[in-house]
Structure 1
């Protein structure tokens, strides 16, 4: 078989969606993504057609490496959205060829490296990324929380409003203990602004916390100002998010396991683990 490595400049979301579904068709739970969902996926995770590449066999997309552009928010690393190969094209070295193409364009844009997440039980993928030079940098938790068990609360003097993303503080360090992964970042909220609910918790004119939830019930962010923690603000924000989402459960994707505060908060609320991921970095 002969393959051509090309960027995604002239490939529409319909073809890329089909390629993703084909690449993950033999999973225990096969992927069945709609074109609309793929467009959201692109916006949320910062897809760049110039920095993303596919391997073509004729007109068929045999494999892909979807990437964003270098991000100052992540020390100028570029985020890898997804990597996949259709079953019949595996074990032909396509991922390495795609990575080489990605690295070339990233270096031309002064990227410091790449980063991605991989499920901790996917030993084959982890081994492949390690062979490419990626190293694990932190453990990430994915969990779910039933909304039916949440109790309404209203800490004294705190009021809740709907916020736009541009109303959030530029400096988030007083609210977060660790940096959110790219799909939960400020850029993700901007990309999905039309369908993302952001709730602000106010004490007078002071923003003491906020929460953001995507339309599928995935909570992107919960931030409570450090001097207002353990006062019921987080619990109240969580209830507000559940009300706005209108889903039977909330999901929390890629919570840094070293962030003891948010993990203790989620455990107390009744969160159940789904899986664990590793964040991995490649230095260029």
Structure 2
């Protein structure tokens, strides 16, 4: 059967999920979400099946570009090709289709990440007009038995935190951790720290243990507030480890805090941007 390049509408989510599992099975850090986690990721990152592209042989998805959108921006949620179908030019074809649809829909920018270790892919992206915008580090951390903070820690909804995020954090999160993405996350756990009824810090975490955001106001740092938020988040989702995806390398204070607590760097990524 011939291969069809098309959008992702009316494609069984299980077929999309199966393609992702195959494509990412030999990744530097294999990404193997459950079907529920995969669907949650698409929801949280505002998946647009019309702008997304797949290569389809009538039986299974061979390659994919999953696109999400917000405001004037389009985001590449994930892209990949099944191991057995690489080297056929499928990735180039579906990328071209998605970019054409993104431009037609009026979006002005495409944003995504590429591992810094994948210099071959980076070179191809740069030839296609993508520019390095920022560099990110990713970490994993075991939660310790840390000293308690004197502040009040309690579970809240994201609406309690959202009006204060810009005042508390130093650096803008990566797109998949921005406020709009946390608000769209179906099962985010949000925990806040209060001092004299004033919000002084917060954390938002996925059920998988991936941290969306963590911030503490400047005049309350180094007082165990961040540790208390991490400990309470891990307890709330019953995970012994937490992961930090895409911490801006310019955010020296956060990186110093994480490494001081024993966090281990896993991979580094470039944030790439293409403007239309």
Q: Which residue of 187, 199, 216 corresponds with 2:191?
A: 199
Q: How do residues 121-160 of structure 1 correspond to structure 2 at under 5 angstroms?
A: 121-147=117-143, 149-155=144-150, 158-160=151-153
Aligned to 2:22: 22
Aligned partners of 2:219, 2:211: CA distance in 1, in Å? 22
Give the Cα–Cα distance (whole angstroms) in 2 for the partners of residues 199 and 29 of structure 1.
28
Pairs aligned (count): 276
Quote the residue 1:109 is aligned against. Answer: 105
Unaligned residue ranges in structure 2 (runs of 5+): none
**Which whole-Å CA distance do the structure 2 matches of 1:169 and 1:58 have between them?**
44
Task: Determine the structure 1 residue equivalent to 2:218.
Answer: 226
1:120 to 2:112 alignment: no
Rounded Cα–Cα distance in structure 2 between residues aligned with 1:8 and 1:244: 35
Q: 1:263 to 1:107 in 2, by over 3 A?
A: same
Mapped to 2, the partners of 1:30 and 1:276 lie a distance apart of 15
Deviation string for 1:24-54 (max 9, x for gaps)? 3444665543321211221232211112110
Secondary structure (helix, strand or coil) at the match of 2:167 reads coil
- Partner deviation per Cα, 1:233-279 (whole Å, 9 max, x = no partner): 22221222222232221111111110011111111111111111111
SS at 2:168 equivalent? coil
- The superposition leaves residues 107-127 of structure 1 with CA deviations (integer Å, 9 ceiling, x where unpaired) of 233211111112211222222
Find the partner of 1:94 among 85, 90, 94. 90
Q: Cα RMSD (Å) of the superposition?
A: 2.0
Q: Does residue 262 of structure 1 match 2:261?
A: no
Q: Does 1:178 align with 2:174?
A: no
Structure 1 Cα separation of the partners of residues 29 and 250 of structure 2:
29
SS at match of 1:117: strand
Unaligned residue ranges in structure 1 (runs of 5+) = none
CA distance in 2, matches of 1:92, 1:173: 45
Q: Does 1:273 align with 2:269?
A: no
Matched residue, 2:46: 46
Question: CA 1:153/1:180 → structure 2, altered by over 3 Å: closer, same or farther?
Answer: same
Q: Please tell me whether the aligned partners of residues 17 and 38 of structure 1 are also in contact (alpha carbons under 8 angstroms).
A: yes
Residues 125, 112 of structure 1: alpha-carbon distance in 2 compared, 3 angstrom cutoff: same
Whether 2:4 is the aligned partner of 1:4: answer yes
Runs of 4+ in structure 1 over 4 Å off:
26-31
Aligned to 2:77: 81
Q: How does 1:237-252 map to 2 (within 5 A)?
A: 237-252=229-244
* 1:188 aligned residue: 181
Contact 2:15 2:60 (C-alpha < 8 Å) held by counterparts:
no
TM-score normalised according to structure 2 size:
0.92
1:242–1:33 Cα change, 3 Å:
closer
- 8 Å contact from structure 1 (residues 46, 187) kept in 2: no
The alpha-carbon distance between structure 1 residues 26 and 263, as it changes in their structure 2 partners (threshold 3 A), is closer
